Amino acid sequence: MTAEPAVEALYQACALSMIRVAFVMLDDLPAAEDVVQEAFCSLYRRWDHLDDADSAMRYLRVSVLNGCRSVLRRRAVRRRVLLASQPTAVSAEAVVLDGEEREEVARAVGRLPVRQREAVVLRYYLDLSDEQIGQVMGIRPGTVRSTAHRALEALGRALKETS
Amino acid sequence: MTPLEDKVRAAIRAKAARVTPEAVPPLRLPVRRRSYPPAYRGGGRIGARQLRWLTPAAAAVAVAAVVTLTVGVPRAVLGPAAMSAAERAAQENAAQWVAAQVSRTAVVSCDPAMCQALLLHGFPAADLLTLRSAAASPLRSAVIVATPAVRREFGQSLRSVYAPAVLASFGSGTARVEVRVIAADGVAAYRSALRADLQLRKQTGAQLLSNNRITFLGSTSVQVLDGQPDSRLMFSLADMAAVRPISVVALADSGPGASEGIPLRSLTLTLSAPNPQYRSMFLQELLSRLNTQPSPWYPSRVAIVRLPRGRTGLRIEFTAPSPLGLLGTASPARSR
């Protein structure tokens, strides 16, 4: 299959889940859409160098995570520039719909360090195995387990403090 | 799975579900810059089926070439021999400037002679889009080098349709060569993006002026308040000031004859009242910090320079064209 229809088909199949992953990571829908769009464009440019559908999927996940990291890094710089970093407002409607506790957990996930947040999102949203998460994050499965463990500990502590 | 893991899974899924399928925008794929026939891509042999039409195709190309050469050669394909000395000097200066100042991720449109000059100055061939006639669209590029030949081919449409702003201009009169920035989404959209960017640069400039770790010397405070520096310079300034107190000595741009509103892409700074013993170490510290910045904050050039009265400073330069909207969005505006 040539690049364009193949990438289009992949976009139809998994753009939504990729945007959702980026949204959980960034808490900013336009930025999440941009990251995913950029990842698909990059996949399209690299299509001829990829071996199979699996490697395309892996490439996509890595691109999305890298894109999220770039956005978070830029945000950190902006904060240093004193560009009036505004915390993302959570709508009252969303709070009611999702429930207080879920909202609290989601906020705690958003406060985790980037690597821990990535491990948690890949594990509990995309249901990837530790090996797959390791491939996407470029770390060993053992490190994935310890990172996720530390993330859960931090979340447990954060939720205890707020309750 | 523990109750905490259940909670985390449910919370993440609930948050993700806020993105509805309707929120997925249509896919916008870029134009593929290089497309090779399968024989080149995979290194495979051309089959008999492809060879069947290859001979008539080659014949057609040969006929077209003969017709083009005999009926009407556009001025753009004329070689350097047809140029006056003034044109040649302007082209040489423009080629030097583009090779030194334009981002290596930007595609540059040029007529064959100018493309050849750019190649000689080390500009990558893959990033050149050769314009052989007015039928060729420069919209796939980020910058166009408007030589007299290109201006003749495109006429008024060059500035009114394709490339409204000048990044740098060399020579004068009909011999002048302009390096122009392409408005990929149209001239109106470009002007509006430039206006919005200038507004954000002014706001950021005002914030930088109130930063007590940055001292602006001479006219640099006015330039910053006017939003003249490129947004990447503004980021770098704030980032470095967080490490050491600094003084901005000069803001400049190496683009002669640039249009109004085109940001300044270079600055010179020094450390504010540093202990002379540590000056060199602190400058090295800032230099290393700049060299490890991610794109788009990675400068094209950073160097420790000598300043008047024996002082040392740091000169920082970013590539052209300046990205617009970098200060206003979570991700920088896409450039081609």
> How confident is the model over B175-232, as pLDDT tens digits?
899 999 999 888 888 999 999 999 999 999 999 999 989 999 989 999 999 999 999 9
Span B11-35, average pLDDT = 75
For A10-19, A135-144, B57-66, which range has the lowest pLDDT when averaged over its residues?
B57-66
Of the candidates A8, A82, A106, which has its C-beta nearest B15's C-beta?
Answer: A106
Which residue out of A69, A124, A126, A153 would a mutagenesis test of the B interface target, given it has the greatest number of B Cβ atoms within 10 Å? A124
Query: Tokens at residue A150, please?
Result: 């530390």
- Judged on CB neighbours under 10 Å (0-12, 13-18, 19+), B194 is buried
Q: How many CB atoms lie within 10 A of CB B214?
A: 21
Instruction: Flag if A120 and B8 touch (Cβ within 8 Å).
Output: yes
Q: How far apart are CA A16 and CA A22, in angstroms?
A: 10
Instruction: Flag if B7 and A81 touch (Cβ within 8 Å).
Output: no
Contact (CB, 8 A) for B266 and B297: no
Q: How far apart are CA B135 and CA B76, in angstroms?
A: 12
Query: How far is the alpha carbon of B320 from chain A, nearest alpha carbon, in Å?
Result: 20
Q: How far apart are CA A85 and CA B251, in angstroms?
A: 27
| CA-angle at B278, arms to B276 and B281, nearest 5° | 130
Cα B273 from chain centroid (whole Å) = 35
Contact (CB, 8 A) for A47 and A7: yes
Residue B17's closest chain A neighbor by CA? A20
Q: How confident is the model over B134-155, as pLDDT tens digits?
A: 567 788 899 999 999 899 888 8
Query: Does this model's pTM top 0.80?
Result: no
Q: How many CB atoms lie within 10 A of CB A46?
A: 14
Under DSSP, the state recorded for B320 is: B
Instruction: Flag if A33 and B23 touch (Cβ within 8 Å).
Output: yes
Query: Tokens at residue B303, please?
Result: 């160097």
Q: How confident is the model over A24-52, as pLDDT tens digits?
A: 999 888 888 888 988 888 888 888 887 77
Query: How far is the alpha carbon of A31 from chain B, nearest alpha carbon, in Å?
Result: 6
Contact (CB, 8 A) for B76 and B131: yes
Q: Say if strands B143-146 and B108-110 run parallel, antiparallel, or are unpaired.
A: parallel
Instruction: Flag if B23 and A29 touch (Cβ within 8 Å).
Output: yes
**Would you call B34 an interface residue with chain A, using a CB distance cutoff of 8 Å?**
no
Q: How far apart are CA B208 and CA B110, in angstroms?
A: 39
Instruction: Flag if A19 and B327 touch (Cβ within 8 Å).
Output: no
Residue (of B268, B275, B230) closest to B103 by Cα position: B230
3-state DSSP call for residue B317? Answer: strand
Half-sphere exposure of A148 (CA within 13 A, CB side): 25
**Would you call B126 an interface residue with chain A, using a CB distance cutoff of 8 Å?**
no
Instruction: Flag if A74 and B9 touch (Cβ within 8 Å).
Output: no
Instruction: Flag if B19 and A34 touch (Cβ within 8 Å).
Output: no
Span A65-76, average pLDDT = 85
Predicted local distance difference test score (pLDDT) of residue B242: 87
Of the candidates B11, B238, B330, which has its C-beta nearest A102's C-beta?
Answer: B11
3-state DSSP call for residue B108? Answer: strand
Query: How far is the alpha carbon of B285 from chain A, nearest alpha carbon, in Å?
Result: 18
Predicted local distance difference test score (pLDDT) of residue A87: 44
Q: Say if strands B143-146 and B165-170 run parallel, antiparallel, or are unpaired.
A: unpaired
Confidence of residue B87 (pLDDT cuts 50, 70, 90): confident
Residue (of A45, A26, A36) closest to A63 by Cα position: A36
Q: Say if strands B246-252 and B266-271 run parallel, antiparallel, or are unpaired.
A: antiparallel
Burial call B220-234: b when 16+ CB within 10 Å, e when fewer? bbebbeebbbbbbbb
Residue A30's closest chain B neighbor by CA? B330
pLDDT at A81 over 60: yes
Q: How many CB atoms lie within 10 A of CB A79?
A: 12
3-state DSSP call for residue B123? Answer: coil
Which residue out of A7, A38, A81 would a mutagenesis test of the B interface target, given it has the greatest number of B Cβ atoms within 10 Å? A81
Contact (CB, 8 A) for B177 and B170: yes
